[in-house]
Amino acid sequence: MLKTISPALKGTAPKLKITGIDCHVLLAPDYDASFTSSAQDSLVVVVHTDGGVSGVGECDANPWMAKACIEAPGTHTMGLSIKDMLIGANPFDIGGLWNRIYLGTAMNGRRGMVIHALSAVEMALWDLCGKAVGQPVHALLGGATRDRITPYASLQPAGGRFEDYRDALCQSAEKAKSLGFRAMKTEITMNGPYAHNGMRESYDRHTEVLAAVRKTIGYDVTLMVDVQYLWDDAETCLSVIKDWGEFQPYFLETPLWSDNVREMAKLVERAPMKIAFGEWLATRFEFEELMDVGKVQVAQPDVGRVGGIGEAKIVCDMAKERGRTIVPHCWKTGISISGTAHLAFVTNHCAFIEYLPPQLCHERLRRELAQEELIFEKDGTIPLPTRPGLGVEVDWDIVKRYTVA
């Protein structure tokens, strides 16, 4: 059996059984399919028990597909139903259930969408267990090892012209700094497969944007750069970023395709900044390849994709063994942001978490669906949450309003 993580309890767990699982496909009415933003939709999963305690989770994947992965009936021992495997089970056996589902769906899953869907279920179980024993999730993960974490703001571009794109990022950077952020990440994607608004600007223009953002915020703020799989190979990437060291980027995120791990290793060897990857990856096995073959210095597990909070913790432990840094990816609502924060509080080598307060985000679901307990303070940090479970309050009227399946 695979190594897994279950809640660390001081006493005996309450005797509860899982009685039901609800899957809500949410879609913002103003969504734009041309956006490169998965925060416009969500799969919200609620796990219920016979004791009246429920937990909530979400995943970052196509919500219709994820819903089908959870609810689809099983037809043989290698393709069982996630939902059926959970009904009647002990919710505190999170690790055992993860193994059971991983093995029971292996022919259809092992990676990709089934694991992403499992992430939402697993997250809901941690929330449920925390509520059942009156403990925050970080306590169930073994206990917080620090009392504050540092978030970074993801800057938002706009427009379809170079000047509009550059200026929007600089304005977003100014606003983030005025709110107290000590770290931020700028998207610079005006070319490549996920170019903003189909833009096709030269690579020199990408350097101009980075220079403008750095000039805007100064050098007392940590700056990260996300180029969203812009280049095909290490040599082309290096020809552009070789001089980016003068702007002191903390890392360069997803410069190459996620499967191109051997090119990653070439890039890591010569790049003037750390290289970060992992937002799309599922399970510890993909991260093992990322770190051992790709040699990536910053691993970015997403609790709503990698397989859940427990699987993300295993990835964090693997990174620690290898001397790597963790900066989790998270581009969903307060549900996933809360799960990410609890993970960070038990992971000292987690340098930052991705955090987008309502003042900085465009996506309706991010603003309206859930209110996390997390408090962004004036010194640019988030103190330890204390509420049971994930500590997130879901607006069920919003769930009802935006549910489409």
Ordered per-residue pLDDT tens for the chain, 405 residues: 799 999 999 889 999 999 999 999 999 999 888 888 898 999 999 999 999 999 999 999 999 999 999 999 999 999 999 999 999 999 999 999 999 999 999 999 999 999 999 999 999 999 999 999 999 999 999 999 999 999 999 998 999 999 999 999 999 999 999 999 999 999 999 999 999 999 999 999 999 999 999 999 999 999 999 999 999 999 999 999 999 999 999 999 999 999 999 999 999 999 999 999 999 999 999 999 999 999 999 999 999 999 999 999 999 999 999 999 999 999 999 999 999 999 999 999 999 999 988 778 888 999 999 999 999 999 999 999 999 999 999 999 999 999 999
Q: Facing residues of 382 across strands?
A: 149
Return the amino acid letter for 368.
Answer: E
**Confidence (pTM):** 0.97
Q: Do residues 121 and 81 lie in contact, with contact meaning Cβ atoms separated by under 8 Å?
A: no
Q: Do residues 28 and 364 lie in contact, with contact meaning Cβ atoms separated by under 8 Å?
A: yes
Sign, Cα dihedral of 216, 38, 360, 372: negative
State the pLDDT at residue 88. 98
Distances (CA, A) of 263 to 187, 205, 249: 22, 24, 20
Question: Hey, what long-range contacts does 399-402 have (CB within 8 A, 24 or more apart)?
Answer: 399/24, 399/26, 399/44, 399/369, 402/26, 402/27, 402/28, 402/29, 402/365, 402/369
Helix (H, G, I), strand (E, B) or coil at 404: coil
Q: Which of 296, 252, 250, 259 is nearest to 281 (CA)?
A: 259
146-159 pLDDT, tens digit each: 999 999 999 989 99
Helix (H, G, I), strand (E, B) or coil at 183: strand
The total number of residues written for the chain in this structure? 405
Q: Strands 298-299 and 325-326: what pairing?
A: parallel
Q: Which of 149, 151, 206 is nearest to 184 (CA)?
A: 151
State the pLDDT at residue 357. 80
The HSE-up count of residue 312 (CA atoms within 13 Å, CB side) is: 36
End-to-end CA distance of the chain: 35
CB atoms within 10 A of CB 34: 9
Distance between CA atoms of 254 and 284, rounded to whole angstroms?
18
Return the amino acid letter for 152.
Answer: Y
φ, ψ of residue 76 in degrees (nearest 5): -165, 170
Helix (H, G, I), strand (E, B) or coil at 179: helix
Q: Do residues 319 and 299 lie in contact, with contact meaning Cβ atoms separated by under 8 Å?
A: yes
State the pLDDT at residue 358. 77
Query: Angle formed by the axes of helices 334-345 and 112-133, to 10°?
Result: 70
247 DSSP assignment: G
Return the amino acid letter for 273.
Answer: M
Return the amino acid letter for 123.
Answer: M
